[in-house]
Amino acid sequence: MPLRPQNPASPVRVRFQVDWPTVRKLATRAALVTVAAPVVVAAGVMALERFRRHQYPLDAPFPTAPPASTRVQDTTATVYTYGADLYEAMLEAIEGARHQVFLETYIWKNDDVGEQFKAALREAADRGVEVYVVYDGFANLVIPRSFYDMPPGVHMLRFPAFRPGLLMLDVRHSGRNHRKILVVDDEIAFVGGYNIGTLYATRWRDTHLRIAGPSVWELRNAFVDFWNRWRTPDLPVLQDVGSNLWLPQLRAARNAPSELVFPIRGIYLDAIDRACSHIYITQAYFIPDADIHTALLEAAARGVDVRVLMPERSNHVVADWLARGLYSTLLRGGVRIFLYQGAMIHAKTATVDGIWTTVGTANIDRLSLTGNYEINLEVVDDGLAAELESAFRMDESNSRELTLDEWERRHPLSKIAERIMAPLRPLL
């Protein structure tokens, strides 16, 4: 029998054995580095800022304006841009209360201003006024619990400091109560960015809105719904009185994480998409998500004058650095950025085309738009828009415009830090 010829070119099979324990070890180390690097850089940035703040505190004087009022049909809307003026008006409203006071705040300091509010609420209860108060436990962890001790006539709801969904990033069970509302006798109401404290009275620039008239129901209803949703068994149920007023020009948008309801993001997107002339946004912490970021760029591309005003240095330095990671695309796309100088600007406002306005508690970031309990008034009225645009021009006078050329010349280490910290953006 003839022998079958051998093929010298036949491939030689070589078996490779994967060292799975080593692969797992390397993967674990890579994951740890990926997670740890942004945190380490953020910690370093915070340490440097703490040192810098001693050298250059955020306490420079800034321009202010007296309260300005306008009519939105049967409701009077008053814009406050200075804390001392606002607190005077709020305390006057509480002191004049005859029936009910609803107060909801995120931060309530135990300082001179905080004590004034505490005394006013106690005095209101002493004269027979029903007083209901909501404050956030986490935001006030550094305040002694005894500060919030009130007589039985003041019903206190402490929103839990620690909630079970925090570690799992479950927004239904982790959102903070970031709202700031005061409603007196269903006749006067306040909403905006101001917390309660001496610091905010004169050293922070913020914006609050007072409304008087039938639209007060918007804020009353928001308070009642929250109270009844989160009250403990020892606290009374508040009655929902309903409203026969339908005023589409002035509505409250309320984020409710426990129900996964986030309308504030929607009103921003709708207003930006409608813009034909100009968009003026003032924000304490500006970290827009992909949709809002894209909407602003598309507005600028169609010729809209898009301006965003924010602090050059805020009280949350990590938020500042995360915002800076978006400056390049915004500036290249024609969005103008103005940086407030020497002081903290904490306002959460926007106007579009001189007709649409929002004032409230929500920042343009993940925590506010899809995480916390927030409330913003949405108002379609050229008179109120004019007042907010006047405030924007006042703030522009205390700001400097950041140019693309200046931004691209920033230090290379800054660019590296921005990239490393970018994964933290969804957390804030």
pLDDT band at 419 (very low <50, low <70, confident <90, very high): confident
- At 388-400, the pLDDT tens digits run 999 999 999 999 9
Range name among 2-11, 232-241, 304-313 with the lowest pLDDT average:
2-11
The whole-number pLDDT of residue 203 equals: 96
pLDDT at residue 38 above 80?
no
More confident site: 230 or 168:
230
pLDDT at residue 2 above 60?
no
Instruction: Report the alpha-carbon distance of residue 137 to residue 408 in Å, rounded.
Output: 42
The CATH number of 68-427, from 3.30.870.10, 3.40.50.150, 3.30.830.10, 3.40.190.10, is: 3.30.870.10
pLDDT band at 31 (very low <50, low <70, confident <90, very high): low
The whole-number pLDDT of residue 27 equals: 63
pLDDT at residue 9 above 70?
no
How many percent of the chain have pLDDT more than 90? Answer: 73
- At 196-237, the pLDDT tens digits run 999 999 999 999 999 999 999 999 999 999 999 999 999 999
The whole-number pLDDT of residue 317 equals: 83
Q: Domain ranges in the chain?
A: 68-427
Q: Once rounded to an integer, what is the mean pLDDT over residues 76-105?
A: 98
Range name among 24-33, 120-129, 368-377 with the lowest pLDDT average:
24-33
| Amino acid identity at 143 | I
CA distances from 182 to 133, 206, 223, 266, 278 (A): 9, 16, 9, 25, 31
Instruction: Report the alpha-carbon distance of residue 131 to residue 101 in Å, rounded.
Output: 5
Mean pLDDT score across all residues of the chain:
90
Give me the active site residues, please.
Answer: 178, 180, 185, 346, 348, 353
Instruction: Report the alpha-carbon distance of residue 315 to residue 205 in Å, rounded.
Output: 12
The whole-number pLDDT of residue 343 equals: 96
- At 250-276, the pLDDT tens digits run 999 999 998 999 999 999 999 999 999
Would you tell me how many other CB atoms lie within 10 Å of the CB of residue 138? 15
pLDDT at residue 30 above 60?
no
